[in-house]
């Protein structure tokens, strides 16, 4: 359970109504299979020991005494195991019957957690047999043992830092004042729901939406498991639905009727408790308290390393499904272009200056600017697209820049900066043969000076081209391409920039524009500040210097969005990029990412305005409030201790 992970299993066993011995056999078999799969939290449906549809048979001593006998047998079967098992059980106590979740571990019953809201409508007439359970926990004498009984019980598990588990039963989740809200406020970050929810047309979609909403609102891992085929079909049918959600996102599920008839269902998922706790810390609107009327049970569990089956997307900023990706691209382009249109409107500006290099970032910036001008009702010829060839410019990028500008209907201007840069180098004593950082940045700052002066001359503003990934790495010349009046790409990571340009290319009605955009996509990422090769090709490839952007975007996302520490990011990256990068390569670039991220914050502390487009951003006015001189020693020392 290192790194905050713990495996859970939702099990729909094959049951027989009122056959408690058979049911207990199936439950014990399910527990064994779940533990073989590494599960430490195991959840069965509502009233699984007897079956949910026993109806008035629940009032019979024969059924209740048999259920008690078999629950004790199930409990005994957990001896020697530290997994926590939740199984539905009808508890008879002081002349009343309660629909409960019996909580089992290592041969003991830890608690009975009752259903609080008993339905009495349509096909569910539970109030005929069951009584709403007590809210506050009390000790009851059951089979010679004092056992906590009540809804407000939380299991505090020591093996995973901050893991706190609570339970509710079926209808409890559907009501306005659901117990899950109380549980989450009291600290629970895992909520299990033992359910028996029948199937009707359209119900499953609503149920999934409900559980997702509960998980998102409470910022919890929510494990839902409903009764299946073995229940009576006298009037209703059960589909054996399982859902495991994390903060509203689906981790795993088995859909209704998703098994052979009469077969058990097992659904596994790796819960990330550390991420939930990070989300709660991050969201200042999340309310938490420690009510005195909650009973917290300290639960021991051995420390083990969870064998992860959970998949972490190697490209977390980019939806893998094309239709969703296209929808995402359209949303982002609207955010970018409308943000710029508002800025133009606010300052009464009718023109803009964009430096175009024939690379991805400047291409996207020009496309967005054209779209913004269309929104604002300003002619595109008011956009001044400036190409500034210098020592590293290649014919390919130059031609693409010119084609792009003319195809979009903007005004193309060429300013050859070689003479100006040579004069500047002479003024400061820079050796032209020394291709150091001064050689590179001198060109970048000259380009920015040209753009700023042209903006003054045309009464426009300079549109920034730098993207989120470059800002995270500090891969920008301070007061060079680092500076603009509005940075339309500042919230877009490099891995998403290419998809935005591709979206434009695929939807462009102009074949010349489309062909140009596809060639831009095929061009290596480069600032083109060093002379090309003898064959006239790009010699300076960014990813050879700072590393693959798909890795850096991955590190950035899981560090800022998920709050993962370096070792955890390294662990999941090895799985995400298996067969693409070896462990040594991943660790090498993660170290570089960490060093650059902390060393380059001063560049992010004075960023120009620009629109946030996703859940990760580095604006000093919004998402990332970080001192420019913060030390990265803790992060780097953790990385240095890792071995490929």
| 316, part of any domain | no
Do 252 and 244 meet the contact criterion of CB atoms below 8 Å apart?
Answer: yes
**pLDDT, tens digit, for every residue of 170-228?**
999 999 999 999 999 999 999 999 999 999 999 999 999 999 999 999 999 999 999 99
Q: How confident is the model at residue 124 (pLDDT cuts 50, 70, 90)?
A: confident
Count up the domains in the chain and report the number. Answer: 2
Q: Are residues 231 and 339 in the same domain?
A: no
Q: Are 284 and 387 part of one and the same domain?
A: no
Mean pLDDT of 509-535: 85
The CATH number of the domain holding residue 117 is: 3.60.110.10
- Phi-psi category of residue 528: left, alpha or beta, with phi > 0 → left and psi -120 to 50 → alpha: left
* Number of C-beta neighbours around residue 108 at 10 A: 13
pLDDT for position 195: 98
135 and 189 fall within a common domain: yes
Q: Mean pLDDT over residues 438-451, rounded?
A: 95
Average pLDDT in the 93-110 region? 97
Whether the per-residue pLDDT at 632 is higher than 70: the answer is yes
Which strands make up the sheet holding 108-114, listed edge to edge?
A: 138-142, 145-149, 108-114, 96-105, 84-93, 41-43, 5-12, 265-272
Q: What is the pLDDT of residue 531?
A: 81
User: DSSP letters along 424-445, please?
Assistant: HHHHHT--TT--SHHHHHHHHH
Same structural domain, 112 and 10? yes
Q: Residue length, the chain?
A: 644
- pLDDT band for 529, please (50, 70, 90 cuts): low
| Whole-angstrom Cα Rg for the chain | 31
Annotated catalytic residue within 7, 115, 591, 603:
115
Is residue 575 within 8 Å of residue 454, measured between CB atoms? no
**Alpha carbons 327 and 115: distance in angstroms, whole number:** 42
Task: Identify the pLDDT of residue 227.
Answer: 96
In the three-class reduction of DSSP (H, G, I as helix; E, B as strand; rest coil), residue 500 is classed as: helix
Residue 539: is its pLDDT beyond 70?
no
Would 261 be classed as within a structural domain?
yes
CB 37 within 8 A of CB 63: no
Residues 24 and 132 both lie in one domain: yes
What per-residue confidence (pLDDT) applies to 528? Answer: 67
- In whole angstroms, give the CA distance from residue 103 to residue 147: 10
Burial class (CB in 10 A: 0-12, 13-18, 19+), 617: buried
Give the pLDDT of residue 545: 87
The CA-atom distances, in angstroms, between 362 and each of 477, 526, 532 are 15, 12, 20
Query: Is the residue at 7 inside a domain?
Result: yes
The alpha carbon of residue 185 and the mean position of all alpha carbons in its chain are separated, in whole angstroms, by: 22
**Using an 8 Å Cβ cutoff, are 161 and 112 in contact?**
no
Residue 330 lies in a domain: yes
Question: Would you state the pLDDT for residue 99?
Answer: 98
Q: Dihedral angle at the C-alpha atoms of 421, 423, 424, 425, nearest 10 degrees? A: 90
pLDDT at 376: 96
CATH code for position 387 = 3.40.50.620
DSSP code, position 134: P
176, with CB counted inside 10 A (0-12, 13-18, 19+), is exposed
- Whether residues 291 and 383 share a domain: the answer is no
Residue 198 lies in a domain: yes
Are residues 354 and 217 part of one domain? no
Q: Based on the domain organization, do 230 and 101 belong to the same domain? A: yes
Last residue of a domain, one of 265, 299, 333: 299
Where do we find the tokens 């008993």?
118
Label residue 526 by pLDDT band (50, 70, 90).
confident
In a domain? residue 426: yes
HEC string of 188-213 equals: CCEEEEEECCECCCCHHHHHHHHHHH
pLDDT class for 532, splitting at 50, 70, 90? confident
Domain coverage including residue 446: 322-640
**Are 371 and 231 found together in one domain?**
no
- Those residues whose C-beta lies under 8 Å from the C-beta of residue 154, and which sit 6 or more positions away, are 164, 165, 166, 183, 186, 187, 188, 294, 295, 296, 297
Query: Of residues 7, 40, 46, 329, which has the active-site annotation?
Result: 46
Q: Tell me whether residue 313 is in a domain.
A: no
How many CA atoms are closer than 13 Å to the CA of 185, on its beta-carbon side? Answer: 13
Q: Is 606 a catalytic residue?
A: no
Residues 263 and 409 in one domain: no
Identify the bridge partners of residue 5 per DSSP, sorted by sequence position: 272
- For 226, 256, 257, 298, 569, the CA distances from 204, given in Å and listed in that order, are 11, 8, 11, 36, 35
Q: Is a pLDDT exceeding 70 seen at residue 13?
A: yes
**Would residue 307 count as lying in a domain?**
no
**Same structural domain for residues 286 and 404?**
no
Domain C-terminal end among 248, 265, 299: 299
125-129, long-range: CB < 8 A, 24+ apart = 126/99, 128/55, 128/56, 129/55, 129/56, 129/58, 129/59, 129/97
- Write down which residue in 299, 330, 351 finishes a domain: 299
Strand pairing report for 138-142 and 96-105: unpaired
Query: Which SS3 state, helix, strand or coil, does residue 548 take?
Result: coil
**Which among 364, 347, 356 has a CA at the least distance from the CA of 460?**
347
Same domain, 247 and 353: no
Q: What is the SS3 assignment for 387?
A: strand
Nearest in space to 34 (alpha carbons), one of 10, 15, 14, 51: 10
Query: Out of 170, 329, 390, 516, which one is annotated catalytic?
Result: 170
For range 322-328, the mean pLDDT: 91
First-to-final CA distance of the chain = 20
Compute the distance between CA of residue 363 and CA of residue 403 in angstroms, rounded to an integer: 11
**Cα–Cα distance for residue pair 333/401, rounded to 1 Å:** 20
The dihedral built from the CA positions of residue 476, 478, 484 and 487, taken in this order, carries a sign that is positive
């Amino acid at each position: 359970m290192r790194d905050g992970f713990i495996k859970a299993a939702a099990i729909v066993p094959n049951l027989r109504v009122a056959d408690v011995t058979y049911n207990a056999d199936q439950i014990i078999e399910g527990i064994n299979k779940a533990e073989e799969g590494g599960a430490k939290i195991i959840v069965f449906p509502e009233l699984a020991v007897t079956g949910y549809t026993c109806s008035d048979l629940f009032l019979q001593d024969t059924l209740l005494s048999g259920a008690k006998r078999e629950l004790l047998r199930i409990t005994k079967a957990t001896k020697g195991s530290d997994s926590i098992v939740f199984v539905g059980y009808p508890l008879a106590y002081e002349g009343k019957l309660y629909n409960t979740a019996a909580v089992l571990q290592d041969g003991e019953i830890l608690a009975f957690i009752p259903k609080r809201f008993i339905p009495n409508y349509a096909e569910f007439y539970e109030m005929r047999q069951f009584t709403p359970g007590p809210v506050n926990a009390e000790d009851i004498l059951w089979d010679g043992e004092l056992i906590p009984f009540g809804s407000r019980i939380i299991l505090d598990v020591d093996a995973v830092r901050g893991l706190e588990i609570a339970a509710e039963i079926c209808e409890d989740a559907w009501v306005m004042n659901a117990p899950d809200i109380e549980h989450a406020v009291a600290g629970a970050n895992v909520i299990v729901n033992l359910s028996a929810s029948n199937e009707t047309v359209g119900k499953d979609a609503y149920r999934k939406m409900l559980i997702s909403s509960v998980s998102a609102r409470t910022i919890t891992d929510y494990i839902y498991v409903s009764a299946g085929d073995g229940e009576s079909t006298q009037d209703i049918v059960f589909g054996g639905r399982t859902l495991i959600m994390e903060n509203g996102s689906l981790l795993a599920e088995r859909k209704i009727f998703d098994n052979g008839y009469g077969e058990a269902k097992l659904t596994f998922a790796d819960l990330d408790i550390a991420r939930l706790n990070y989300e709660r810390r991050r969201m200042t609107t999340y309310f938490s308290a420690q009510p005195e009327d909650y009973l917290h049970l300290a639960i021991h569990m051995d420390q083990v390393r969870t064998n992860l089956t959970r998949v972490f997307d190697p490209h977390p900023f980019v939806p893998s499904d094309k239709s969703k990706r296209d929808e995402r691209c359209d949303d982002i382009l609207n955010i970018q272009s409308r943000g710029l249109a508002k800025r133009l409107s606010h300052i009464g500006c009718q023109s803009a200056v964009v430096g175009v290099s024939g690379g991805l970032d400047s291409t996207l910036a020009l496309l967005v600017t054209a779209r913004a001008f269309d929104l604002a009702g300003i002619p595109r010829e008011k956009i001044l697209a400036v190409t500034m060839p210098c020592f590293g410019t290649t014919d390919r990028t130059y031609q693409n820049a010119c084609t792009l500008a003319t195809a979009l209907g903007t005004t193309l201007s060429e300013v050859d900066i070689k003479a100006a840069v040579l004069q500047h180098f002479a003024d400061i004593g820079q050796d032209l043969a020394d291709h150091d950082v001064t050689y590179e940045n001198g060109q970048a700052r000259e380009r920015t000076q040209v753009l700023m002066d042209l903006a003054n001359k045309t009464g426009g503003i300079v549109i920034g081209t730098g993207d989120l990934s470059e800002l995270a790495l500090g891969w920008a010349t301070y007061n060079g391409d680092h500076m603009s009046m509005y940075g339309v790409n500042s919230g877009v990571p490099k891995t998403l920039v290419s998809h935005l340009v591709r979206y434009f290319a695929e939807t462009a009605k102009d074949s010349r524009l489309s062909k140009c955009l596809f060639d831009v996509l095929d061009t290596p990422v480069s600032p083109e500040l060093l002379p090309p090769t003898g064959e006239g090709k790009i010699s300076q490839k960014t990813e050879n210097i700072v590393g693959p952007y798909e890795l850096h975007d991955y590190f950035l996302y899981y560090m800022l969005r998920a709050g993962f520490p370096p070792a955890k990011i390294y662990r999941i990256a090895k799985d995400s990029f298996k067969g693409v990068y070896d462990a040594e390569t991943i660790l090498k670039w993660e170290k570089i990412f960490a060093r650059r991220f902390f060393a380059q914050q001063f560049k992010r502390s004075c960023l120009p305005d620009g629109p946030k487009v996703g859940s990760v951003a580095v604006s000093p006015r919004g998402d990332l409030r970080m001192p420019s001189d913060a030390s990265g020693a803790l992060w780097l020392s953790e990385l240095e201790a890792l071995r490929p």
